[in-house]
């Protein structure tokens, strides 16, 4: 009872500190951003560029000679314009304080839950959401976790009153954790990681085979009665309208998981995590399988591997012709550092920054099936973009000065900024942010 009381007091103190800014209203007049360097997101860079958007849609992108056609002109000379970063495999908005169970809502009980929808648990009032906007992340794929089949993810916008307003693409894919040969255990006393045999592996695989076989047979029925909610949610896997996101790290597990997906008639398997993806590049390319890598700022999987291998891996995959995206795979607070993972990939992977930018914009959009509306700054797409003081992929110059979601000018206030100003004033320190 004492612990519950403390938790309630903690939540009350956090929520009472300040409120998130209200979501922005719809765009009311055409806007032209002029004079900036425009990073389109497909590798193209436009110096001294102009981008126009009206009613939330980009109407023109070009050089300094592009007519503004009576739009409100905002001079952003010397700045950089980027498409919104898209954060895949995230639990932002699904958990607030890891130690407080009442604020964690990314997992359901049970092991086979394809019908669970993370979208309806998305909390638009989360204090975490405004903090990631300030590093250029305006779009997030919120995913479920837990069990073998966790449920479905959705792509949301980071400025909305509720999940209905936030959704950009609902139920884009089902999440599966492949039962590998080995399971990791972490020792909190000496911080060591050890491997042990996964004793439940075959049992889990048998359950997966039974579930997917039944779902495939169900999908072939024209008018099933009664409807099975679990199998209804899996229909899109067999006609290609949904991805199957498979968490797998070791090379042998990656190969086995992809073979399983192909045997079950899955059109679009996507590997998530993929620590050993560099060992199975030919297999991934042969099967046209995209990879969403997990956190890069880590040590390599094996002790005798190149210590910089995690930094080089995105470049190795991209140069091999594999669609590669970057993520923090559920580490919700660290999501804000996603652009700096792309910067690391450029620095160590033998690719330029525009190619690294694709890994968190256009390639991610293509994997999720939203590249028709976001991912690049092109005419006809959503005006979901950011204006940065400098290089978005460099933590020293990633300073977001303007952000727009479908043309709506977003308030960039957040809890971190409020705390900074409060304690700066308390201790009489100069405001270095001005």
Q: What is the pLDDT of residues 264-304, one digit of tens each?
A: 999 999 999 999 999 999 999 999 999 999 999 998 888 88
Q: What is the residue-averaged pLDDT of the chain?
A: 91
User: Could you tell me the sign of the dihedral formed by the alpha carbons of 372, 374, 378, 381, in that order?
Assistant: positive
Encode 115-134: b = buried (16+ Cβ within 10 Å), e = exposed.
bbbbbebbbbebbbbbbbbb
- 375-414 confidence digits (pLDDT tens): 999 999 999 999 999 999 999 999 999 999 999 999 999 8
Under a CB-based contact definition with an 8 Å cutoff, are residues 381 and 139 in contact? no
- Decide if 63 is inside a domain: no
Domain of residue 155, CATH code: 3.20.20.140
**Residue 345: which of 333, 331, 363 has the closest Cα?**
363
Task: Give the confidence band of 334 by pLDDT, cuts at 50, 70, 90.
Answer: confident
Lowest-pLDDT range of 36-40, 231-235, 376-380, 430-434: 430-434
**Residue 140: which of 317, 314, 296, 370 has the closest Cα?**
370
- Decide if 41 is inside a domain: no
Neighbouring-strand partners of residue 402:
387
229 φψ region: left (φ > 0), alpha (ψ -120 to 50), beta (else): alpha
Residue-level pLDDT at 8? 45
Neighbouring-strand partners of residue 244:
174, 269
Answer whether residue 2 shows pLDDT above 90: no
**Residue 382: which of 122, 159, 186, 215 has the closest Cα?**
159
Task: Give the confidence band of 20 by pLDDT, cuts at 50, 70, 90.
Answer: confident
Rounded to an integer, the average pLDDT of 319-325 is: 97
Residue-level pLDDT at 188? 64
In the numeric block, the tokens 């030919």 are attached to 282
- Decide if 3 is inside a domain: no
Q: How many domains does the chain have?
A: 1
CA distances from 309 to 315, 346, 348, 353, 359 (A): 10, 13, 9, 18, 17
Task: Give the confidence band of 190 by pLDDT, cuts at 50, 70, 90.
Answer: low
- Decide if 214 is inside a domain: yes
Supply the Cα-derived Rg of the chain in whole angstroms. 22
Answer whether residue 241 shows pLDDT above 70: yes
**Residue 60: which of 358, 383, 405, 409 has the closest Cα?**
383
- Give me the domain span that covers residue 276: 85-374
- Helix 338-348 × helix 309-319 angle, to 10°: 80
Residue-level pLDDT at 73? 96
Return the higher-pLDDT residue of 137 and 421. 137
In three-state secondary structure terms, 152 is strand
- Decide if 343 is inside a domain: yes
Cis peptide before 226 (omega within 30 of 0): yes
pTM beyond cutoff 0.75:
yes
Strand intervals (E) in 7-129 = 31-39, 45-54, 57-62, 72-75, 80-83, 85-90
- Decide if 231 is inside a domain: yes
Residue-level pLDDT at 6? 46
- Decide if 44 is inside a domain: no
Return the higher-pLDDT residue of 8 and 54. 54
Task: Give the confidence band of 315 by pLDDT, cuts at 50, 70, 90.
Answer: very high
- Decide if 400 is inside a domain: no
């Amino acid at each position: 009872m004492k612990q519950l009381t403390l938790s309630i007091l903690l939540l009350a103190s956090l929520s009472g500190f300040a409120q998130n800014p209200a979501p922005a209203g719809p765009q009311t007049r055409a806007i032209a951003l002029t004079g900036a360097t425009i990073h389109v997101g497909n590798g193209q860079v436009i110096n001294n560029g102009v981008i126009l958007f009206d009613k939330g849609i980009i109407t023109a992108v070009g050089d300094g000679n592009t007519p503004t056609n009576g739009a409100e002109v905002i001079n952003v000379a010397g700045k950089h314009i980027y498409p919104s970063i898209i954060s895949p495999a995230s639990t932002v908005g699904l958990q607030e304080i890891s130690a407080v169970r009442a604020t964690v809502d990314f997992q359901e009980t049970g092991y086979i839950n394809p019908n669970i929808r993370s979208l309806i648990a998305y909390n638009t009032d989360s204090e975490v959401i405004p903090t990631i906007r300030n590093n250029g992340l305006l779009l997030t794929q919120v995913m479920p976790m837990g069990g073998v089949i966790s449920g479905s993810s959705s792509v949301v916008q980071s400025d909305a009153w509720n999940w209905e307003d936030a959704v950009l693409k609902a139920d884009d894919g089902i999440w599966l954790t492949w039962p590998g040969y080995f399971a990791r255990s972490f020792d909190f006393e000496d911080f060591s990681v050890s491997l042990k045999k996964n004793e439940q592996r075959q049992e889990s695989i048998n359950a997966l085979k039974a579930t997917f076989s039944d779902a495939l047979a169900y999908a072939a029925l024209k008018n099933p009665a009664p409807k099975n909610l679990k199998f209804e949610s899996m229909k899109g896997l067999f006609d290609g309208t949904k991805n199957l996101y498979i968490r797998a790290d070791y090379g042998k597990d990656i190969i086995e998981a992809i073979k399983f997906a192909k045997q079950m008639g899955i059109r679009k398997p996507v590997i998530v995590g993929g620590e050993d993806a560099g060992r199975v590049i030919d297999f991934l390319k042969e099967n046209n399988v995209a990879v969403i890598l997990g956190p890069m700022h880590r040590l390599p999987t094996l002790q005798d591997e190149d210590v910089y291998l995690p930094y080089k891996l995105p470049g190795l995959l991209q140069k091999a012709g594999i669609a590669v995206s970057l993520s923090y795979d559920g580490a919700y607070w660290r999501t804000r550092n996603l652009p700096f993972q792309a910067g690391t990939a450029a620095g160590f992977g033998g690719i330029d920054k525009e190619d690294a930018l694709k890994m968190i914009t256009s390639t991610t959009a293509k994997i999720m099936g939203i590249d028709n509306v976001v991912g690049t700054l092109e005419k006809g797409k959503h005006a979901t973009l950011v204006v940065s003081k400098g290089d978005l992929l460099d933590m020293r110059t990633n300073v977001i000065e303007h952000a727009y979601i479908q043309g709506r000018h977003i308030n960039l206030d957040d809890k971190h900024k409020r705390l900074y100003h409060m304690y700066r004033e308390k201790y009489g320190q100069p405001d270095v942010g001005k």
